[in-house]
Structure 1
Amino acid sequence: MEAYQREFFQFAIGSGVLKFGQFILKSGRNSPYFFNAGLFNSGASLRRLGGFYAAALVRSGVAFDMLFGPAYKGIPLVAATAIALAGEHGRDVPFAFDRKEAKDHGEGGVIVGAPLVGRVVVVDDVISSGLSVQHSAGLIGAAGAELATVLVALDRQERGQGERSAVAEVTARHGVPVIAVAGLEQLVQFLEEDSQHAAAADIRAYRARYGSS
């Protein structure tokens, strides 16, 4: 586990974004943990979150030219990541995001910000069904640009309807890697190192039941 991943978990727990207990997910599964990225809702927390995204992206070594944030959750995330790349890594890259509905006046269209060109990173909170990525990939391709990778906060490493996770499905469908600040494997390691063995055991059991192959 990288140092920034350990700091990320400390930050997420301290912010109340990552919680432990019993949580019924949309899938109907009873999860021993819950990650709600919407609770990164202050200037200071968003600034720090952008730093984790930027660190994961730079460490991946994936070549990219710009960032894209799908509406709505991806909008503050893509801005925070772009700021962190410029301030912490010396890379001033353009970014854009989309509207849910096309604007029929002024500049018009659905894309706000820089034109979609080159190799584009989609920045989002998590991947659930993969539909958001599919929509973003369509916009990027229609503009003549190329999807480079998808960058998310947490990979639950959990099966969807089949044997593969939603992340694996995205990689298979679009032929690009998915980069996560951290995944379930690192979370278990963090909890064990932090002596929170009860939560670690519960999550290990959950992964044994629902983890992706």
Structure 2
Amino acid sequence: MDNPDLVVADDGRARPLWAVSSEAYRHYYDTEWGVPVTDESGVFERLSLEAFQSGLSWATILAKRDAFRRAFAGFVPDAVAGFDQTDVYRLLADAGIVRNRRKIEATIGNARATVALRAEGGLAELVWSHQPERTPAPVRLADIRTTSPEAIALSKALKGRGFSFVGPTTIYALMQAIGLVDDHLVGSWRRGSSGVFGPDGRAIRTPPG
């Protein structure tokens, strides 16, 4: 393979360099990154984790993911929306998660915003309404952008509905993670596997629906 950003592993499958840097990354890349997520709780969880990841490595978040799920009631929006100041203190004392008060309080606020958003169709509906008509086709890691017009618009829409820690970079990372864009490198075994975009990069399916 002549692309230095892709590595063919012992299973014969090509993956980007970051996806072979650890077994945790490889599992995440193979089974989850870019797979469409269309349920409210699933989108809320990934939005929350992307917010906690801000300023940190994704490896840190992956290593703490089970602890995050225990701490935040499985990321069930109704449960998290009911958290109070006692829960904030509990979470600040939980060494298993990222103990950042602003991010913890933002997650609770975002859960409440998620519940309120049901009156407009729900979080997943809003997020997926910003799916681009065409996905990028990065060949090298340097080709992968960190935001997009759709991410900027979605960030603004979420902020307008009371969400926080939802800047365009965080939102683009969310879009990558849940399949709104296919940023698997051309030549990777995962490229095109989501079923959301056709071979020409055009959207052929818009979950949920």
Query: Structures share a fold, TM > 0.5?
Result: no
**Bigger share in strand:** 1
Q: Which TM-score tier does this pair reach, normalised by the shorter chain?
A: 0.3 to 0.5
Q: What TM-score comes out, normalization by structure 2 length?
A: 0.33
Higher relative contact order (CA 8 A, sep 6+): 2
**Bigger share in helix:** 2
